[in-house]
Amino acid sequence: MPDIISEPAGEGVILLRLNRPEALNALSLSLRQLLARHINELSTDDTTRCIVITGNDKAFAAGADIGELSRRTVLDADFERSRVAWLAIEACPKPIIAAVNGFALGGGFELALHCDIIVAGEGATIGQPEVRLGLMPGAGGTQRIVRAAGKFAAMRWLLTGDRISATEALGLGLVSEVVPDQDVVARALALADKIASLAPLAVRAIKETVLLGPDAPLPVALALERKTFQLLFASEDRAEGTQAFIERRQPQFKGK
Ligand code: DAK
């Protein structure tokens, strides 16, 4: 079986399952490169509107593959291969939802942090334990966590490597929703279905603006929002969406 299983899961929705159960879905470089290939393909596939990434009941992903990390030297070319693989997810214009059960540790939670929505099961365990290995997060953890949860929560968590529950993570703003474990994938797919039924250009514009805005000065971010908002007035879907409201019918969005 491949390290990633891709399955259609409704109109415009693709479910990607991480599939290294023997290693708690540890993110070997080859798994991440395969994930990047899937994401790159889906990024430019017009029929794909939303992507869900999940693991299994025991682990979303227990971090980078520690065996591989133990062998790396400072000039190892795998650092660059790794960066390129993460970039595919970071640059994906389609919404990605992480459906998290079990362990999401280190690079595993950083993978979830690359996604746009995180649905976590009540029993999920989240942590950035890199400091316990003499390391630190290397796939955006220090930066995405401080932006999502603020300095004092981030420091408390990153400096100790302590694990937290999904409910604690929700309180810190580190996940979007917590649901019973058995409902995680179904809930993520329901959200994906809803997003997939909405206007693709508007969805894409919202994702881009939400991600770019917080790192720009506020007047620039607000200008970005205004311009992007204005651009959507060129879309057929904007005409369809507003007309359907006036005619009291469901809109038929085409992504044009
Ligand atoms: N890597 C490799 N194998 C792993 C693994 C991992 N991260 N986590 C678990 N496994 C393997 C175990 O070795 C074991 O294999 P066998 O002995 O059966 O062959 C199997 O999965 C089951 O694990 P356990 O027997 O340990 O299961 P338990 O239920 O007892 O414990 C656990 C579950 C999740 C608490 C424990 O496995 C654990 O602590 N795992 C390590 C968690 C961790 O420290 N993760 C952080 C790794 S550092 C980078 C960007 C990012 C990163 C790296 C580079 N670049 C941009 C270059 C990220 C770094 C990290 O994530």
Tens-place pLDDT, residues 51-99: 999 999 999 999 999 999 999 999 999 999 999 999 999 999 999 999 9
Q: What is the mean pLDDT of residues 141-151?
A: 97
60 dihedral zone (left: phi>0; alpha: psi -120 to 50; beta): alpha
Q: What is the mean pLDDT of residues 40-61?
A: 97
pLDDT number for residue 44: 96
* % of the chain at pLDDT higher than 90: 99
pLDDT number for residue 118: 98
**What is Dmax (Cα atoms) for the chain?**
64
Q: Which of 66, 81, 89, 101 to mutate to test the pocket of ligand 1 (most atoms within 8 A of CB)?
A: 66
Can you tell me which residue has the tokens 């693989």? Answer: 85
Rounded to the nearest angstrom, the distance between the alpha carbon of 125 and the centre of ligand 1 is 13
Dihedral sign of CA atoms 232, 236, 240, 243 in order? positive
pLDDT number for residue 92: 98
pLDDT number for residue 209: 98
Q: Which residues contact 197 (CB under 8 A, 6 or more apart)?
A: 11, 12, 253
pLDDT number for residue 172: 96
pLDDT number for residue 54: 98
Q: What is the mean pLDDT of residues 2-31?
A: 97
Report residue 105: phi and psi, to 5°: -120, 145
Query: Which among 130, 149, 153, 202 is annotated as catalytic?
Result: 130
Q: What is the mean pLDDT of residues 112-138?
A: 97
d(CA 183, CA 16): 17
DSSP letters spanning 71-128:
H--TT-THHHHHHHHHHHHHT--S-EEEEE-SEEETHHHHHHHHSSEEEEETT-EEE-
